[in-house]
């Protein structure tokens, strides 16, 4: 496994890009920014949970101010059909099973969803989101609704790469934490790099879909069928 964190700065803004690669079976799974193709929208998904986790670290640390946006792009290969993975993600209430800092997701009557996530020092953050693009077995795009504490948008794509039994899942999102972007040193306050948390969440997703259980250290659980 190889994780990479990259930070670029410019006048009035700062951007952090996280990349994670895994190769447990000799196959490469790397971060891939596909540009989101007009789909930058948010419906809390795994991504929203990941973005929320990084935001909590920012809130707890009170880091440097700025207008920074955080952009994250990931991809993972899962040994399951695209349709099965799509259905799992589309049922948003599944996500707390695999997202370490996501407490709950509740689908609302108006087609939106309400998300609750936990962070360091007892911080709890809640937000609503809506789906903008939903093409079965192919793509879901989402965005937070107006007034969200952490404005965000993102896309997840499902691509068959193994005769219907292996799928490449690509996710990309952007969010804007209050007070600016997170510096690389902030994670040290909590003894964990943000890229490591993202890596763990993706691994749990893969384990859940391939085996029905999440066996990753410190977050073992049996799937509720």
**Per-residue DSSP letter, 52:** H
Which domains are delineated in the chain? 2-211 (3.30.530.20)
In this predicted structure, the answer to whether residue 223 has a pLDDT above a threshold of 70 is: no
Which residue reads 């360091």 in tokens? Answer: 120
* 15-45 tens-digit pLDDT: 433 333 343 444 444 334 444 443 333 344 4
Give one DSSP letter per residue of 179-217, joined into a string. Answer: T-PPPGGGGGGGT--HHHHHHHHHHHHHHHHHHSEE-ST
* 75-122 tens-digit pLDDT: 899 999 999 999 999 998 998 898 777 899 999 988 899 988 876 667
What mean pLDDT value characterizes the chain?
68
Residues in the chain, total: 225
Global model pTM greater than 0.85: no
């Amino acid at each position: 496994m190889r994780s990479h964190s990259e930070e670029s700065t410019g006048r009035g803004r700062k951007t952090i890009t996280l990349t994670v690669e895994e190769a447990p079976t000799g196959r490469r799974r790397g971060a891939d920014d596909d540009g989101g193709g007009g789909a930058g929208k948010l419906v809390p998904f795994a991504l929203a949970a990941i973005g929320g986790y990084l935001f909590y670290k920012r809130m707890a640390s009170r880091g440097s101010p700025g207008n920074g946006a955080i952009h994250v792009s990931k991809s993972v290969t899962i040994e399951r059909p695209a349709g099965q993975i799509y259905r799992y993600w589309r049922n948003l209430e599944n996500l707390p099973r695999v997202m370490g800092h996501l407490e709950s997701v509740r689908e609302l009557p108006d087609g939106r969803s309400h998300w609750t996530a936990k962070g360091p020092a007892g911080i709890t953050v809640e937000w609503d989101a809506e789906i903008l693009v939903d093409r079965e077995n192919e793509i879901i795009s989402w965005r937070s609704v107006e007034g969200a504490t952490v404005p965000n948008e993102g896309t997840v794509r499902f691509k068959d790469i193994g005769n219907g039994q292996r799928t490449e899942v690509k996710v990309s999102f952007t969010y804007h934490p209050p007070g600016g972007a997170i510096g690389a040193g902030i994670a040290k306050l909590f003894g964990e790099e943000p890229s490591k948390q993202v890596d763990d969440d993706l691994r749990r997703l893969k384990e859940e879909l391939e085996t029905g259980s999440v066996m990753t250290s410190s977050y073992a659980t049996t799937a509720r069928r």
